[in-house]
Amino acid sequence: MGVDLGSSYLRMAQLGTNGHGLYLHGMGCEKRPEEIESGSSDWQKWAAKTIKQMTKRGGFKDKKVVTALPSQDVFIDQIRIPRMPANKVGDAVMANVRQKLPFDAGQAMIKHVVAEQTGSKTSEMDVLVMAADCVIVDRHLAIYENAGLDVQSINVWPFAMTNSFMEFFSRRREEQDKVAMLLDMGTRNTNVVICRNRNLLLARVVSLGFADLEQDEGVQRLISEIDACSRYFEFHCGGMHIQRLVFLSAKNVDKRICYKLAEMAQRMQIPAQIGDVLTAVDMRPGSHAGADKCNSHIDWSVAFGLSLSGRENTNRK
């Protein structure tokens, strides 16, 4: 099962196959109580207790979990380094980001991805760096241990978003070679991913979410930040251009955001769509009940993408 434990919501989802393709076997969702601060010891206790309860009532068939840290707990940076053999990139990455990390580099868990640069003839390469404090990682692992679950792996949200996009919204052959911008909006943050097929090209966290959009000014600020991400990518990434925009969200999301994104896509001369993963799979009878406690705008792409990662891990064994 995939567990998306964010700062405001806990979402769990398990995908299975029934001979006709993927279906939703179980799901659950719970909002963090407002009196509990995200990341606190009370939050850890609430999360462990809620996961344990949700596992029992959500129709999940095993206790194996793939999870991801909340976006605010993951440091992300895009760096440019000289081209070098793959076995030397890790040391170069650490030397570059050591002073930038908001935690002790000696206690950091770091993952890097060399960005695809088709057509680029420069002597440098772009590398996407993702890092987390091992103390935070251990706290998250303790949550699942206390909930009686077995953590298969800790993924990162950009890969989970890419998994969902490829599985549900990029099935046609002509779509799979296109550069796509993916957006996933939460309560306080909006996650931005640019990818081609499963190749991750850029990831950013914009510190604006649904809670900041009560005024039109907030909507415009968000669109400006997203537009800045697209311009940064197209300027720095080897002459590639964004060819699709997919807003990973429920169908009944705030229409103001949809209109503004449509306007931005029109300026970029690219197609745009809402990608609702809940409408992309069949559901086991009763499995959708777990979503009833969540607001209608809540996106499930990260939880689904994590569950897909778990299936891939199992199939490789």
β partners of residue 175: none
What pLDDT does residue 285 have?
Answer: 62
Q: Which two tokens stand for residue 32?
A: 């963090």
d(C-alpha 155, C-alpha 146), whole Å: 20
More confident residue, 148 or 174: 148
Half-sphere exposure of 205 (CA within 13 A, CB side): 17
Mean pLDDT over 244-250 rounds to 92
Averaged pLDDT of the chain: 88
Q: Residue 251 pLDDT more than 80?
A: no
> What residue segments make up the domains of the chain, in order of their start?
2-72+135-316, 73-133
More confident residue, 200 or 215: 200
The CATH number, out of the four listed (3.30.300.180, 1.10.760.10, 3.30.420.40, 1.10.287.130), of the domain defined by the range 2-72+135-316? 3.30.420.40
Q: What is the pLDDT of residues 107-153, one digit of tens each?
A: 999 999 998 765 556 788 889 999 999 999 999 999 999 999 999 99
d(C-alpha 17, C-alpha 284), whole Å: 11
Count of positions (residues) in the chain:
317
What pLDDT does residue 315 have?
Answer: 57
Report yes or no: 157 and 68 within 8 Å, Cβ to Cβ: yes
Topology at the third CATH level for domain 73-133:
Dna Ligase; domain 1 (3.30.1490)
Q: What is the pLDDT of residues 5-57, one digit of tens each?
A: 988 899 999 998 877 788 888 889 999 999 999 989 999 999 999 999 999 88
Give the model's confidence band at 62: pLDDT under 50 very low, under 70 low, under 90 confident, else very high.
confident
